[in-house]
Structure 1
Amino acid sequence: MNQFWGVDADPTAQGRIKGAKPVAVLDIGSNSVRLVVYERHARALTPLYNEKSACALGRGVGQTGRLAEANMKQALGAIQRFDLVARMMRVGKVHVLATSAVRDAANRQDFVDAVEALMDSKVQVLSGEQEAHYAALGAVAGIPGFSGIVGDLGGGSLELSRITDGSDTDGASFELGVIRLQDDSGGSPGQAAGIVRDRLQKSALPKAAKGASFAAIGGTWRSLAKLHQIARGYPLHMVQNYVVPADDMIQFCQEITGAASLKAYAGAEHVSSSRRELVPFGAAVLAEVLRVGQFANVVFSALGVREGYLYGMLDKREQAIDPLIQGAEELSVLRSRSPAHASDLVEFTGQFLDVSGTAETPEQRRLRIVACLLADIGWRAHPDYRGPQSVDAVAYGSMTGVDHPGRSFLAQVMAVRYDGLKSKAAARLAGLGTADLTARARLIGALFRVAYPMTAAMPGILPRIRFEVAGNALSLVLPGDLAFLDGEHLQGRLDQFAGVAGFKNSAMRVE
């Protein structure tokens, strides 16, 4: 007999990774309770479901030392629903994490017992040091190679860690969460700034190297990043890996904390009602952290404790996997006509770079591989919209391990690949990278336009074709049994590509 929340047959859609078992994290924070279900436990985490309930568990804990009954009731109601969601989605394991508000409350055990009864899973109440550790791992998971200080701002606390060579040290927790600051300051962002300065005197920030980077994690700081993007007219509304000079962010924070009221700052209408009054306190914390640490810039991370916890469970081999390439491989499997063709495309483009003497850094090669993996994800769209839709899928997708210039590169490659060299589909993003980055994107995109008329996105053809260079002439060499490919359409594509690549002449030759 079917249960009311599910069916006997596997409900998994064909657009999901075959055989993937969902994993979830229930994050019980001071401001909200959030359930995130990921498609599978891997290096590149793809959110399958994400929902939060603003329960404000941390409200008043600093003054009373207890979780308020009404807030606990609201949180338990949300958790009961999240348990249903997890069962309907056939989640293999739900990891339940509780942070500042729960660990600081005298009546925490009653709440923990109630959660465990609902979820049939043990609640892990993280210490401040553990919370700092997993937040740091979250930054590492989403921004491979990051080095600097990580800060995770919640409703009840601020956790700080130092990251060097992928490992975190000096983890510490401070009673500087936005709800606690609002309570402790009597609702004054100005007074909150003074409290932050006093409490940070015990931190490792003054010892941080001048000019280092600060990674900002937490919902309130994500809201702050979005407001900054809107205010500055930034073309990509993507918080992950958004980098801002520290001086600019300090000034922006001052504009928000200096507003007439907690809801009167510029752009407040773009912030959710549950977080609107908290943003000025998040701004006060960020401004003081950046000043005290003398940071050069702040980079925002959408990945935090939840993702860091799952990343920490992976073995060293899995942690070393490139999340951008793994994520692109998954998209290729799910959306392209033939994933094997992407491998041919990597070899084909690489062969041209080799014979033409075009230099390629490790990061450029990495982005070229990703571009090859994503090159055919738009085929289902109407021909007139394949370019714009593919650009949006790349620019606004959930992939991690890529900065904004990298997203710009990939988007520009997709625009040229589908719409040609005159495409405007990614023009708004071109300014995120350098002129050299745009030139390379046009080169790779134009090269894709040579490849696809020969292959129809199927493998086996490109490995038999090669480029040759003689002075200012570029030749595409075809095997004898493929001589019929030498036609007007392909020659036109080859001529366009040769022009982008800087060759005066181009031709096809059969051997």
Structure 2
Amino acid sequence: MNQYWGVDADPTAQGRIKGARPVAVLDIGSNSVRLVVYERHARSLTPLYNEKTACALGRGLAQTGKIAYENIDRALTAIQRFALVSRLMRVGTTHILATSAVREASNSKAFVDAVEQTMGGKVTVLSGAEEAHFAALGAISGMPGFNGVVGDLGGGSLELSTISGGIDSTGETHQLGVIRLQDDSENSPSRGQAIAKRRLKKSALLDGQGGSFCAIGGTWRSLAKVHQVLRNYPLHMVQNYEVGAADMLDLCEQIVAATASGKAYVGAELASSSRRDLVPYGAAVMIEVLKAGKFSSVIFSALGVREGYLFGLLDEGERAIDPLLQMAEDVNVLRSRSPQHAEDLISFSGGLLETPGIAEPAEETRLRRTACYLADIGWRGHPDYRGEQAVDMVAYGAATGIDHPGRAFLAEVLAVRYMGLKQKSMSASLLALSGATMSARARLLGAMFRVGYPMSAAMPGVLPRIRFELDANVLRLLLPSDLAFLDG
């Protein structure tokens, strides 16, 4: 055993946050069992390891009241491997969460005992209200400004809650998980839709108030990915993906109708094999949720109960930290030539805007600061490809606390910073996400980086000594006498 995880040497790479102790969540759901190991327990979570095994613990539960023993065996085998992973990665704390299948099954105690023995920790079996609460916290952790109804669709249940001002209401739980619905409807999504409509009549949260609906859960994530591909959307990531409710209803109705007629639904090949047959039931629930709530838009969250549980353990000060800026500051420390230089860039770029009196709302300020922290992430790359690599890292990275227009803005800043104002590498559809005004601001900021980096050699101390002056509508850059040779 010692040859695997008992060695004295620290296996942590230099590219990880110094002194960070990994934290993990083992999520035992009705459809899958998943282990996620995060680099550290912080406001911005960075996954080190993320794996799931489809175990279908909720299959047949509504009919028998028990978890099938072959599915228990499958789950315990996966959990043995996950226990090994936790030891290999030297996880400090592993939080073990179980949801509807485990809380409802009459034979779950022996399973829970076996999990606790294997993992060496206590299993927390969440109630429906707790599951709704942590799902809402997950949405808040990734989208701090979201207000509206949150729905977390699992294999055994649907949890609903309302978020207003960063606080969630008392949650609801409904027996509308996709595995349960597939079983209850006898493999008929159209019948499942009728069941969903009937069961959602009990909801006090879906009162037709409109606004935004935040969708969480693996089956709904699959639905979002299908929608993105079919609509030729330039970013294939679920977090913060927003779509009009009418458009989502149209796709969901097509999926349910196609399945009812015995045909493959449009985009079926885009869903994973473990989710493909469940997507029509997720679509059926989505239809009835959107109709009952009369929502105007759907926004998808890749963060849910796991992230919400960890978010709930943070103190009030840590919760108030901006996850986007924390991520950018971490990346700045790990990848830039001089982390302090980013602080110089923040002041330098602020002066560029303040001198001519360019207004900068708070959200644009945070995006500018983020861009300054990320401005030197490409220096190790080949000169001919630094731009493309840097753009990919910010446009397609795992950052939270940022919407898709914000990603496009950051991508364009770095494209100009590395490839100039005439760069043509970014797709027009990706550029269009930020809008004309923010695109112009991105080009201004990227051009400023192209001035600041050669003058400072990416090292701190030079830029704070340089200031801007507006003289008869001419913006001048003023150098101290000992740095006059930097002119030109």
Is the CA contact (8 Å cut-off) linking 1:65 and 1:106 kept in structure 2? yes
Task: Identify the residue that residue 382 of structure 1 maps to in structure 2.
Answer: 382
1:339 positional shift: 0.7
Task: Identify the residue that residue 237 of structure 1 maps to in structure 2.
Answer: 236
1:8 positional shift: 1.6
Task: Identify the residue that residue 85 of structure 2 maps to in structure 1.
Answer: 85
Are 1:467 and 2:468 counterparts? yes
Task: Identify the residue that residue 66 of structure 1 maps to in structure 2.
Answer: 66
Matches within 5 A, 1:302-313: 302-313=302-313
Q: What whole-Å deviation, never above 9, does each CA across 1:162-186 have from its counterpart, x for those lacking one?
A: 0111111130100000000000001
Task: Identify the residue that residue 298 of structure 1 maps to in structure 2.
Answer: 298
Task: Identify the residue that residue 442 of structure 2 maps to in structure 1.
Answer: 441
Please tell me the residue identity of whatever aligns with 1:452.
Answer: Y
Other structure's SS at 1:86 match: helix
| Alignment TM-score, normalising by the size of structure 1 | 0.94
Taking a change above 3 Å as real, the CA distance of residues 318 and 196 of structure 1, as seen in their structure-2 partners, is: same
Task: Identify the residue that residue 432 of structure 2 maps to in structure 1.
Answer: 431
1:427 positional shift: 3.2
Task: Identify the residue that residue 455 of structure 1 maps to in structure 2.
Answer: 456
2: CA distance, partners of 1:177 / 1:213:
21
Name whichever of 265-274 and 368-377 sits farther off: 265-274
Matches within 5 A, 1:75-154: 75-154=75-154
Name whichever of 401-410 and 162-171 sits farther off: 162-171
1:238 positional shift: 1.1
Please tell me the residue identity of whatever aligns with 1:304.
Answer: G
Matches within 5 A, 1:154-303: 154-207=154-207, 209-210=209-210, 212-260=211-259, 264-303=264-303
2: CA distance, partners of 1:367 / 1:50:
28
2: CA distance, partners of 1:215 / 1:260:
25
Other structure's SS at 1:237 match: coil
Q: What whole-Å deviation, never above 9, does each CA across 1:273-315 have from its counterpart, x for those lacking one?
A: 1111000000111111011100010000000000000000000
1:7 positional shift: 2.6
1:434 positional shift: 1.2
2: CA distance, partners of 1:169 / 1:473:
54
Is the CA contact (8 Å cut-off) linking 2:208 and 2:292 kept in structure 1? no
Taking a change above 3 Å as real, the CA distance of residues 206 and 303 of structure 1, as seen in their structure-2 partners, is: closer
Please tell me the residue identity of whatever aligns with 2:171.
Answer: G
Are 1:8 and 2:8 counterparts? yes
2: CA distance, partners of 1:38 / 1:6:
21
Q: What whole-Å deviation, never above 9, does each CA across 1:296-335 have from its counterpart, x for those lacking one?
A: 1000000000000000000000000000000000010111
Other structure's SS at 2:329 match: helix
Q: What whole-Å deviation, never above 9, does each CA across 1:61-86 have from its counterpart, x for those lacking one?
A: 01100000000000000000000000
Is the CA contact (8 Å cut-off) linking 1:26 and 1:95 kept in structure 2? yes
1: CA distance, partners of 2:420 / 2:263:
46
Other structure's SS at 1:421 match: coil
Root-mean-square deviation (CA), in Å? 1.1
Other structure's SS at 2:299 match: strand
Name whichever of 421-430 and 82-91 sits farther off: 421-430
Other structure's SS at 1:170 match: coil
1:6 positional shift: 4.9
2: CA distance, partners of 1:95 / 1:206:
32
In the alignment, structure 2 segments of 5+ residues that lack a partner are: none
2: CA distance, partners of 1:329 / 1:208:
41
Please tell me the residue identity of whatever aligns with 1:474.
Answer: L
| Alignment TM-score, normalising by the size of structure 2 | 0.98
1:249 positional shift: 0.3
Is the CA contact (8 Å cut-off) linking 2:206 and 2:289 kept in structure 1? no
Other structure's SS at 1:244 match: strand
2: CA distance, partners of 1:208 / 1:335:
48
Q: What whole-Å deviation, never above 9, does each CA across 1:357-399 have from its counterpart, x for those lacking one?
A: 1110000001000000000001110011111110110011111
Taking a change above 3 Å as real, the CA distance of residues 318 and 481 of structure 1, as seen in their structure-2 partners, is: same
2: CA distance, partners of 1:319 / 1:426:
35
Task: Identify the residue that residue 408 of structure 2 maps to in structure 1.
Answer: 408
Matches within 5 A, 1:33-48: 33-48=33-48
In the alignment, structure 1 segments of 5+ residues that lack a partner are: 488-511
1: CA distance, partners of 2:177 / 2:71:
17
Please tell me the residue identity of whatever aligns with 1:242.
Answer: Y
Please tell me the residue identity of whatever aligns with 1:179.
Answer: I
1:352 positional shift: 1.0
1:438 positional shift: 0.6
Task: Identify the residue that residue 22 of structure 2 maps to in structure 1.
Answer: 22
1: CA distance, partners of 2:289 / 2:446:
42
Task: Identify the residue that residue 479 of structure 1 maps to in structure 2.
Answer: 480
Other structure's SS at 2:337 match: coil
Q: What whole-Å deviation, never above 9, does each CA across 1:47-98 have from its counterpart, x for those lacking one?
A: 0100000000000001100000000000000000000000000000000000
Task: Identify the residue that residue 499 of structure 1 maps to in structure 2.
Answer: none
Please tell me the residue identity of whatever aligns with 1:245.
Answer: G
Is the CA contact (8 Å cut-off) linking 2:256 and 2:283 kept in structure 1? yes
Is the CA contact (8 Å cut-off) linking 1:391 and 1:425 kept in structure 2? no
2: CA distance, partners of 1:61 / 1:263:
28
Matches within 5 A, 1:313-392: 313-392=313-392
Task: Identify the residue that residue 507 of structure 1 maps to in structure 2.
Answer: none
Other structure's SS at 2:258 match: coil
Please tell me the residue identity of whatever aligns with 1:479.
Answer: P
Is the CA contact (8 Å cut-off) linking 1:27 and 1:96 kept in structure 2? yes
2: CA distance, partners of 1:185 / 1:78:
29
Please tell me the residue identity of whatever aligns with 2:474.
Answer: A
Is the CA contact (8 Å cut-off) linking 1:57 and 1:68 kept in structure 2? yes
1: CA distance, partners of 2:370 / 2:9:
35
Name whichever of 264-273 and 114-123 sits farther off: 264-273
Is the CA contact (8 Å cut-off) linking 2:328 and 2:374 kept in structure 1? yes
Name whichever of 186-195 and 261-270 sits farther off: 261-270
2: CA distance, partners of 1:2 / 1:156:
40
Q: What whole-Å deviation, never above 9, does each CA across 1:199-258 have from its counterpart, x for those lacking one?
A: 000102342522x11000000000000000000000011100000000000001011111
Please tell me the residue identity of whatever aligns with 1:357.
Answer: G
Q: What whole-Å deviation, never above 9, does each CA across 1:416-458 have from its counterpart, x for those lacking one?
A: 0000001123334111121101111111111111101101110
Is the CA contact (8 Å cut-off) linking 1:170 and 1:204 kept in structure 2? no
1: CA distance, partners of 2:281 / 2:472:
63
The count of corresponding residues between Structure 1 and Structure 2 is 486
